[in-house]
Amino acid sequence: MARATLLAAILAVAVASASAKIHHSIVDKDDRPLIPLTDAFGFAEGGKLDITIRDIGLYRLHGSEEEVKDWENFGFFLSPVEADAALEQDLTDSSKCILNDVNNLFTFKDSSVQNVIQEKLDNFTFHFVVQNGGLFYLYFANCEQDTPVSFDTRIEMYNINANGRKDYLSVGDTSLDAVYWTMFAVFTLGTVLWAVWVWRNKQYSHKVHYLMFALGAFKALTLLSQALMIFYIERTGSADGWNIAYYVFTFFRGILFFVVIVLIGTGWSYMKPFLGEKEARIIMIVIPLQVFANIAIIITEEESPSTKDWFTWRDVFHLVDIICCCAILFPIVWSIKHLREASQTDGKAARNLEKLTLFRQFYVMVVVYIYVTRIVVYLLKSTMQYEYSWVSAAVEELVTLAFYVWTATKFRPTNENPYLKLQQEIEL
C-alpha cells in the first residue's frame, strides 16, 4: 500500500501542470519538417483558434552562418484529419515545401512574428475563425533544411455556445458530461446495493467481496472526477485539478480491477487461502507492468503532441496495456483446465461441471470486456464521425457496467452459488 501511495503521489506531481484543452506546446531546437502541435479537435461552424507565440529561435547546423532568406518556409496550418495520408505523401517529396499545398494560418514572414524574432515584441497572438467547421490537427511546418526551430506557444481551440460563451470541448465531446454523470449515478447505486447485499450475507462473504466493493467505489469516484473534468474544461479549458483526482482514482481502480479478476479466476479466499506459484507470478509481474503502462499513458497524453515520438510512445504503452489484459486470462485458463481434470477423476462430475461452466462463462466475459474496451472502443473513436465521438465513451462505460453487474451476480455471496460450493480439498 505504501508503494501504491508513493506512485500515486508521483503521478499527481507529474501531471499537476496539465492544461487540458488549452495547449501549451514548447518546441526546442526541433528540425522535423512537420511538427504536430495538438491532437484532433472538432470545430463547429464559426469555431475559433488563438495561437500566442513567443521565444522564437532558429539555429543553423553544420556551422552555417548564412541568414534565413525565405521566412515563408516556416508556418502554421490547420489540416483536416482526412488529409493526413496526403500530408505524409507530400513529406516524401523534399523538393517542395508543404506550406505551398495548404492554406497556412501565418508564417514567420508576418511582420508581427518578425518583431518577436527580433525581440521588439514579447509575443504575438494570431486569431482565426474556422468558417465551415470540421475535425482538424494543428501543425507547424519547417521547410528549411538543417535549421532547427524553437518557440513557445499557447493554443486555445474552442467553439461558441448558444449563450455566446467559449466552449473548449471538441464537437462530439459536449455530451460526455451527461454520459459520465449518468454512469456515476448508476455505479454509485450499484456499489451501495452490493454493500447492502454483502452485509446481509456476511456469513457467506469472503475477502474478495470486500475488494469488489472497493473496486466499485473507485470506479464511481473515477466517473465523478471525469464528469467534473468535463464540466470545468468546457467552461475554462482547464480541468481545475480534477484531472489529478481522476488519475489517482484510476490508478487504484486499475490495481483493484486486475487483482479482483486474478483472485476470482484462481478461487482465492473461497477454496484456499493462498495463491499458487504461477498465479502469484502473474500478480507480481503483470499488475505492476499494467500500472506502469497506465501511468505512462496518462503522462504521455498530458504531454503535447509536439514532443518527438509522442504518437509512437502512446501506441506502445497502449499495446503493453492490452498485453497485460490478455495475461490475466491465464489464471482463469489454468482453473478451467484443473476443473476439467477434476470432473473426470474425483467422482464429483456434476458439481465440478457446474463450476467448470461458471469458470468458462467468466473467461468469455473477461475476453469480451477486454476486446470491447481495448479494441472496439478504439475503432469507434477512429471511424465514427467526430460529432459522435461521445458514443465510444458511452459504449465503454456500458460494457464496463454490464461486466461488473454480471460478475457481481455470478459471484455474489450466497449459499446457492456454485462457486461458493468449492471444497477445501480440491486443489486447483
What sign results for the dihedral spanned by CA atoms 368, 374, 375, 379?
positive
Cell 461486466 locates to 403
Rg (the chain; Cα; Å): 26
Instruction: Classify 344 in phi/psi space as left (phi over 0), alpha (psi -120 to 50) or beta.
Output: alpha
Chosen CATH of 22-167 out of 3.40.190, 1.25.40, 2.60.34, 2.60.120:
2.60.120
pTM of the model: 0.80
Which residues, 6+ apart, have CB-to-CB distance to 421 below 8 Å? 351, 355
Rounded (10°) angle between helices 242-266 and 349-371: 150
Tens place of pLDDT per residue across the chain (428 aa): 444 443 443 333 333 333 347 888 888 888 888 888 888 899 999 999 999 999 998 887 765 556 777 888 899 999 888 877 677 776 666 667 888 878 889 999 999 999 999 889 999 999 999 988 889 999 999 888 888 899 999 999 999 988 888 999 999 898 999 999 999 999 999 999 999 999 998 888 888 889 999 999 999 999 999 999 999 999 888 888 888 888 889 888 988 888 888 778 766 544 444 456 666 677 677 777 877 777 777 777 667 676 777 777 877 887 888 887 777 777 777 767 766 666 566 555 555 566 667 777 787 888 888 888 888 888 888 888 888 989 999 999 999 999 999 999 888 887 766 565 544 334 44
C-alpha cell at 350: 456434476
Q: 366: closest CA among 404, 416, 340, 397?
A: 404
Q: Which fold has domain 176-421?
A: Rhopdopsin 7-helix transmembrane proteins (1.20.1070)
Domain locations along the chain: 22-167, 176-421
The DSSP code sequence of 332-381 is: HHHHHHHHHHHHHHSS-HHHHHHHHHHHHHHHHHHHHHHHIIIIIHHHHH
Please give the Cα distance from 347 to 36 (Å, whole number).
Answer: 65
Helices (H), 92-164: 111-117
pLDDT at position 342 is 62
